[in-house]
Amino acid sequence: MSIGNIRNSVRATVTCLSLMALSACGGSTGTLFGESKPPIETQSPQDIFADAQKELAKKNHRRAAKMFDELERLHPYSDLSKKAMLLSAYSSYEAAEYDDAVTSAQRYVGFFPSDDQTDYARYIVAQSYYEQIVDVGRDQGITEDALSAFRELVARHPDSDYVDDARLKMDTALDQLSGKEMTIGRYYLKRGDYLAAINRFQTVVKQYDTTSHVQEALHRLVEANLALGLVGEAKSAGAVLGHNYPGSEWYANSYAMLTESGAVVGGDKDAWYKRAYRQVIKGEWL
């Protein structure tokens, strides 16, 4: 399913919930904050819900979320309370009130773990974290939260309409975490703290092996190991780089670095990495 279809599915979910609720509503459609309405404590759940829907339709998302929360608080046993909980999460998400969105969505999951809308609640949780991901120069705790939430969605609801989008965003989150490791590794490499740099680049190769940063990480391992005089480790990293990315610029740079250092005797570049790789796969190289 394309991302456009995913978004349409999300909108359809909200519309469906709204229509289901409207069929049970009375006739009052006043607003919670209007002077013509009685105190909210005296209003029926149907009236509060109808008012909240009007605010949602007008894209007054913060106000709508508060109304849905009030409905749930005042009428916890109403048939509309369950719908209000999920719509509160959606409204808070649309208002960029991500902490509130997570709280409401997680509460929904806790109360209704087997409900047919629970996948949507989990999706809101993951999306709320995802929207807060920051650049790689800052702490990536929120990225890890997003990745964990998307993984849980995929694991618990493999047939959900939101899985395709979740997988795409998992890849983005992994690339972000990998990029953070590379940023720190380059910093250590520039400072000459080669062991610390190697640890970071190894993390990228081992834990984030599907990301776009692996080629550079392998090259940096060649560079850092050569700086330490660890020729065997440098050759092993170069061999893995050549085997997996033989046509890449990173491999060309690594091969040039290895030949310049005397670690590899000049000759057939392809033949070298193929021979070296056969030796590498016989044992652990990192």
Burial string for 258-267 (b: 16+ CB within 10 Å, else e) reads beeeebbeee
19 pLDDT more than 50 = no
Mean pLDDT of the chain: 86
107, 68 in Cβ contact below 8 A?
A: no
Flag whether pLDDT at 266 surpasses 90. no
Most confident of 7-11, 215-219, 232-236, 278-282: 215-219
Fold agreement (3-132, 180-280): yes
Q: What is the pTM of this model?
A: 0.79
CATH classification (class only), 180-280: mainly alpha
Going from the C-alpha of 244 to that of each of 106, 205, 237, 265, 273, the distances in angstroms are 42, 12, 11, 21, 10
Alpha carbons 142 and 56: distance in angstroms, whole number? 28
Contacts of residue 253, Cβ cutoff 8 Å, sequence gap at least 6: 219
CA distance 114 to 121: 11
Q: Which of 269, 264, 225, 227 is nearest to 247 (CA)?
A: 269
- 3-132 has which CATH code? 1.25.40.10
Contacts of residue 11, defined as CB under 8 A and 6 or more positions apart, other chains included, come to none
AA letter at 260: E
Summarize pLDDT for 73-84 with one digit per residue, the tens: 999 999 999 999
pLDDT exceeds cutoff 50 at 6: no
CA distance 123 to 242: 39
Enumerate the domain spans of the chain: 3-132, 180-280
Per-residue model confidence (pLDDT) at position 8: 52
Q: How far apart are CA 134 and CA 31, in angstroms?
A: 37
Q: What is the mean pLDDT of residues 28-47?
A: 68
| 92-118 per-position pLDDT tens digit | 999 999 999 999 999 999 999 999 999
Between 256 and 10, whose confidence is greater? 256
Closest CA to 220 of 206, 245, 200: 200
For residue range 145-203, list pLDDT tens digits in order.
Answer: 999 999 999 999 999 999 999 999 999 999 999 999 999 999 999 999 999 999 999 99
Radius of gyration for the chain, computed over Cα atoms and rounded to the nearest angstrom: 27
Whole-number pLDDT of residue 277: 62
Cα 126–chain centre separation: 7
